[in-house]
Structure 1
Amino acid sequence: MMKHNPQPWLKTLSLTAGLTFSSLAMSGGTLTVASPQDPGSWDPVDTFLVNWASVATNIYDGLTYRGPDLKLQPGLATGWEQLDDGRRIRFTLRQNVTFHNGEPFNANAVKFTIERLLGEEGKKGPQRSNYTAIERVDIVDEFTVDFFLNKPDPVLLTKLAGYGAMIVPPKYIAEKGEQYFNTHPVGTGPFQFVNYEPKVGIELKAYDNHWGSAPNISELNYRFISEPSTAVAELQAGRVDLVIPPTIPIAMIPTIEANPKLSVVTTPSPTVYALRFNSKSGITKDERVRKAMIYGVDRKAIIDSILGGQAEQIASFQSSISFGNDPAMKPLPYDPSKAMQLLKQAGVKPGTKVQIDIRGNNATFNEVAQAVASYLQIIGLNATIKPYETNVLLNDIIPAGKTGAMFQQSWGGWTLDYDNTAYFMYHTGEKWNPYDSDPELDQQLESQRTLLDPEQREAILQSIARYTANRALEMPLYSLNAIYGVSNRVNNFTPVPDSRLRFTDVTVD
């Protein structure tokens, strides 16, 4: 039996003169953040987008919480025990917590959240499969719940800290309906919803009755600015205080640093970039062609010339801080002669066209894609780039299998565990795997999810990384630092690797 004891500092503190920590912390001020993307829905079950989490981490709480130090801490659960060889987890819930609408948080809210996530509403979004190890949730009493698992899930406690498992209000959703909840979110987090204008922004305000550390700012506003030059211009003009990843192009870092009122803050991140292949049809159905295209692109030169030292080359679709990364793995080398040899063996004629689909709002990756296209021209392929609006590419093109030969995939890997990337990229039937079905790979992916022994899991995850690299399911490119542009009027800002920003400690001058 493993038992987690909460840190005493996470409890609501009582101070002298009858003041609580929450009421004392409020000091006012507005923080305005430029985010490159409107997720389109604020429902936790609807998205995997990092830019959703950059906002919603302030609106919602999970049972667990992972802070900037990447360590797991109590959230709406003050403690937990893993029982029955990992097939049951008992959570002790935090008392005297209310949702922003005044509705009480209790065991019923937890049960409702998980059943909704695993039910018909959850099936509509990409989150459900992340939590299918949960068989049912039983209420022990008002502030105790048992999670019964159909198999152990060694990453579940981390998953419960974000995205689909954020706790939602049962009564509010029942009264207002699912569509209303999408655009009028209610959680238990330190900021509550005020207004949302699609494609423009979302406004939040401090929630005075938050159970933990209340924010030092009174208002938190996000503006959705997809054009990087516009976001940087707004930062320079003082109309936004913070520009979050992945907005800022490497080429614009010197511009920001030249302004004495601004700073650039970076930190290593789990975010990885790749060009994935259509392995079902066209010339990239042939593994030899996929490997030829990888051999034909000098990824290190791209990193050095375009990314200015803010990235690291990867051999598999995960960063060096991912559990499951094998440091002994090396990327395929740049070898244009080998590339042309493989293309010839595969019967690919010089001048054959290949289309590369990318997100149109990422200026840095646009440069990377242009460089990739140029390298592919050298080995005899006529590469063209097709940009899409991000939501269109992610929601309409990739899941429906309508991409060209290659398509951009950027992945946060926010659990810092390769499972959270590999399962969704490679398992048959997953949203982000529209083309491939490999029973052997499916078996490996499923087998590691049943293991609690970290060494056994790590060995299988590393095997998966080698297997997928050998099949050349994508062209691994790089892991990119999280790059923030920050106004000097912002104090106590901590850049986080996973972009899941929580602004309780920030102050503004």
Structure 2
Amino acid sequence: MNRKKLILPSLAIAALLGLAGCTSSGGDSAANEVAADATPVEGGTLTYFANTEPPVWDGQRIPSLNANSINSSIFDTLIAQDEDGTYKPGLATDWEISEDGLTYTFTLRDDVTFHDGTPFNAEVLKQNIDRPINEPDLATVSNGIVETEVVDEYTLAVKLGRQNAGLIHAFSTPHWPIYSGKVLTEHTPAELAASPELSIGTGAFKVKEYSKGAKLVLERNEDYNWAPETWDHQGAAYLDEVTIQFVPETQARIGAITSGQADAIDQVPPLNIPEVEGAGLQVLEKDNTGTPYYVALNPNLAPFDDKNVRLAFREAIDIDGLLDGVYAGVYDKAWSTTLPGTPPEGAFDETLVDSWGYDADAAVELLEEAGYTEVDDEGYRVKDGERLTLNWYVDSLYQQTDQRQQLGEAIASSLKDVGFEVIRTPFDTAAYGVELAKGEHHLADSSRGFADVGTSVFPFTTIAIPSSNGGSGINYGLLSDPTIDEAYATISSSLDPAERIEAAKVAQNRIIDEGFAVPVYVPKKIVGTTDEVHGWKFDAVGYTDSFYDVWLQQ
């Protein structure tokens, strides 16, 4: 079977204006195309091998795409985002925005119940949306919500301290899981984060069984009858159950699907695509939006306090050659810290394509201008008796994604050619942000999927710098730059598409011109499935949106 590459349209900027009748996530998949004339069948268990277990299950706490791809089947969103980028009703049937852009009033469905049988209403939604007000370490505090007011049983007003052009989009993502009020009342935030058994939402599937480090079993919510119109059917999901096994070993996942032990596997490595296709299986792809996989440089610490050294570092990396070697050219090189297709349309600055690249000779010249004129007996550059050594901190969990450990080691090794010594130090996810906040690192890598340009600029703002007591910030380079902060202020507040696009381009050019980060590749979701799997969907970010429309050919 030929490999299908999924291409979903960019989000329309009209969505960001918050016009009533706007919605959600979803998009046609290759599996849908294959089964265009087939009739969906109810029943069966889908066995899905995921590459990692989410480190945290609470979407508000850590914006983990691994968690999102599971939580989107357990939790409904307030708003839904359609494949054309517009927003439509989810748990909210309608919404209005005040003239000053500071008050959002949501009218809610009156026929929804949680998995525990308790009703969904404005009081419960208030509990959920008040969480970042009461828990300042949540990732969602950046949305600027300061107060919520229950207008009546099914109407909630959300008040902001500043305009937030991306709020409607934020409410359309699994970053805002809407928990049962009973769960929020009876359990601590730490408990929500630790186990999906407390992930009690209103979604098409509910948690049946969980074995930490091994698997999660979801079962169909038989009462589900409030799917957004963005989906392909109404009523309960087709599948009886979904068994998600956490299998970080690539060959174990490949072996499972080729042997019939799995119906679908996550994160097929590019070098394994021929093997999967050769077994007669489907390979489904979707490029991510948001930020690429990039390496952030810490400009507060020598030698990266010198712009020449930062630029030399970037020029010394043969990204094209490394991508060919590690990924067989399946991943495209990234030219900016904002990915193509990230909404609003046009936010990615196309003038940055081919504006920089590998030039070892230029890198050497820049290093010599910075005073690194000597080379020691091991081939490393030296200045004032100090070797040009860089400390690269890595999150050990995410190094399993996309063979990033192999790629990182290849980058570090290649940098020796121009005289950089790179030392990679792994940390577990819990300690990673705290260690970065100490400011003792030179390099840290990341990627962040999100279908709005604000999230591709936020990781480079002062307000996103990790704190020493929690480390939850995502500005891994500890960058504080007035030009970028000013651009982000416009991006996050303006409802004018042209203003947001222009500000996004200012930020992208500043990051590239100053060498604050090195974009490496465009991440993509690559899923392998058997021919019996139909209805697979990806969201606008490029990750599995839900198992709701998935069905198995009997």
TM-score (norm 2): 0.81
Change (3 A) 1:181 1:429: closer
Confirm or deny: 8 A CA contact 1:269 1:480 kept in the other structure: yes
Give the distance between the partners of 2:179 and 2:486, measured in 1 at CA.
Answer: 34
Residue 505 in 1 paired to residue 545 in 2?
no
Residue 187 in 1 paired to residue 187 in 2?
no
Q: 1:335-393: CA deviations, max 9, x gaps?
A: 1111011111222353133343444323532332233224311111233444555x357
Give the Å deviation of 1:114.
Answer: 0.9
Deviates more, 1:342-351 or 1:316-325: 342-351
Confirm or deny: 8 A CA contact 2:78 2:92 kept in the other structure: yes
2:287 maps to which residue? Answer: 268
1:335 maps to which residue? Answer: 359
1:200 maps to which residue? Answer: 214
Give the Å deviation of 1:53.
Answer: 0.2
Residue 124 in 1 paired to residue 143 in 2?
no
Deviates more, 1:494-503 or 1:181-190: 494-503
2:298 maps to which residue? Answer: 278
Match for residue 409 of structure 1 among 446, 465, 476: 446
Q: Secondary structure at the match of 1:300?
A: helix
Q: Secondary structure at the match of 2:459?
A: helix
Give the Å deviation of 1:399.
Answer: 4.8
Residue 310 in 1 paired to residue 334 in 2?
no
Give the Å deviation of 1:82.
Answer: 2.0
Change (3 A) 1:141 1:310: same
Percent identity over the alignment is 24
Give the Å deviation of 1:6.
Answer: 7.0
1:227 maps to which residue? Answer: 249
2:123 maps to which residue? Answer: 108
Residue 353 in 1 paired to residue 389 in 2?
yes
Give the distance between the partners of 1:224 and 1:402, measured in 2 at CA.
Answer: 33
Give the distance between the partners of 2:341 and 2:316, measured in 1 at CA.
Answer: 27
2:80 maps to which residue? Answer: 65
Q: Write the letter of the residue equivalent to 1:148.
A: K
Structure 1 residues 363-382: aligned runs within 5 Å: 364-382=403-421
Change (3 A) 1:459 1:196: same
Q: Secondary structure at the match of 2:518?
A: strand
Give the distance between the partners of 2:217 and 2:433, measured in 1 at CA.
Answer: 25
Q: Write the letter of the residue equivalent to 1:64.
A: I
Match for residue 493 of structure 2 among 450, 459, 462: 450
Q: 1:430-453: CA deviations, max 9, x gaps?
A: 312252222343232223322111
Change (3 A) 1:288 1:480: same
1:320 maps to which residue? Answer: 340
Q: Write the letter of the residue equivalent to 1:422.
A: V
Residue 436 in 1 paired to residue 479 in 2?
yes
Give the Å deviation of 1:156.
Answer: 0.8
Change (3 A) 1:401 1:30: farther
Q: Write the letter of the residue equivalent to 1:263.
A: Q
1:22 maps to which residue? Answer: none
Q: 1:313-347: CA deviations, max 9, x gaps?
A: 22221211113211112341221111011111222
Deviates more, 1:417-426 or 1:177-186: 177-186
TM-score (norm 1): 0.88
Q: Write the letter of the residue equivalent to 1:224.
A: F
Give the distance between the partners of 1:451 and 1:273, measured in 2 at CA.
Answer: 27
Q: Secondary structure at the match of 1:193?
A: strand
Deviates more, 1:226-235 or 1:380-389: 380-389
Confirm or deny: 8 A CA contact 1:263 1:488 kept in the other structure: yes
Give the Å deviation of 1:135.
Answer: 2.7
Change (3 A) 1:195 1:135: same
1:18 maps to which residue? Answer: none
1:252 maps to which residue? Answer: 272
Give the Å deviation of 1:190.
Answer: 0.7
Confirm or deny: 8 A CA contact 1:65 1:74 kept in the other structure: yes
Q: Secondary structure at the match of 1:45?
A: coil
Q: Write the letter of the residue equivalent to 2:220.
A: A
Give the Å deviation of 1:99.
Answer: 0.7
Give the distance between the partners of 2:41 and 2:278, measured in 1 at CA.
Answer: 33
Match for residue 87 of structure 1 among 102, 108, 116: 102
Q: 1:277-326: CA deviations, max 9, x gaps?
A: 12222422322111101111122233344333422222221211113211
Match for residue 532 of structure 2 among 485, 489, 495: 489
Unaligned 5+ segments in structure 1 are 11-24
Change (3 A) 1:6 1:303: closer
Confirm or deny: 8 A CA contact 1:428 1:438 kept in the other structure: no
Aligned length: 482
Confirm or deny: 8 A CA contact 2:41 2:551 kept in the other structure: no
Give the distance between the partners of 2:437 and 2:51, measured in 1 at CA.
Answer: 22
Q: Write the letter of the residue equivalent to 1:250.
A: P
Q: Write the letter of the residue equivalent to 2:406.
A: E
Confirm or deny: 8 A CA contact 2:125 2:178 kept in the other structure: yes
1:21 maps to which residue? Answer: none
Change (3 A) 1:442 1:6: closer
Q: Secondary structure at the match of 2:447?
A: strand
Give the distance between the partners of 2:156 and 2:365, measured in 1 at CA.
Answer: 60
Change (3 A) 1:28 1:201: same
Confirm or deny: 8 A CA contact 1:205 1:218 kept in the other structure: yes
1:14 maps to which residue? Answer: none
Deviates more, 1:277-286 or 1:199-208: 277-286
Q: CA RMSD in A?
A: 2.5
Give the Å deviation of 1:470.
Answer: 1.6
Q: Secondary structure at the match of 1:362?
A: helix
Give the distance between the partners of 2:440 and 2:222, measured in 1 at CA.
Answer: 47
Q: Secondary structure at the match of 1:138?
A: strand
1:479 maps to which residue? Answer: 522
Deviates more, 1:467-476 or 1:194-203: 194-203
Residue 28 in 1 paired to residue 70 in 2?
no
Give the distance between the partners of 1:75 and 1:473, measured in 2 at CA.
Answer: 39
Deviates more, 1:355-364 or 1:34-43: 355-364
Change (3 A) 1:2 1:357: closer
Q: Secondary structure at the match of 1:226?
A: coil
Change (3 A) 1:276 1:148: same
Unaligned 5+ segments in structure 2 are 1-16, 27-39, 228-233, 381-387, 466-472
Confirm or deny: 8 A CA contact 2:192 2:199 kept in the other structure: yes
Give the distance between the partners of 2:174 and 2:125, measured in 1 at CA.
Answer: 14
Q: 1:382-420: CA deviations, max 9, x gaps?
A: 33444555x3575554455454x32221221x1x22211
Q: 1:105-129: CA deviations, max 9, x gaps?
A: 0011111111112212xx2332322
Deviates more, 1:443-452 or 1:457-466: 443-452
Q: Secondary structure at the match of 1:139?
A: strand
Match for residue 292 of structure 1 among 312, 322, 326: 312
1:160 maps to which residue? Answer: 171
Q: Secondary structure at the match of 1:274?
A: strand
Change (3 A) 1:172 1:381: closer
Change (3 A) 1:387 1:489: farther
Q: Secondary structure at the match of 1:221?
A: strand
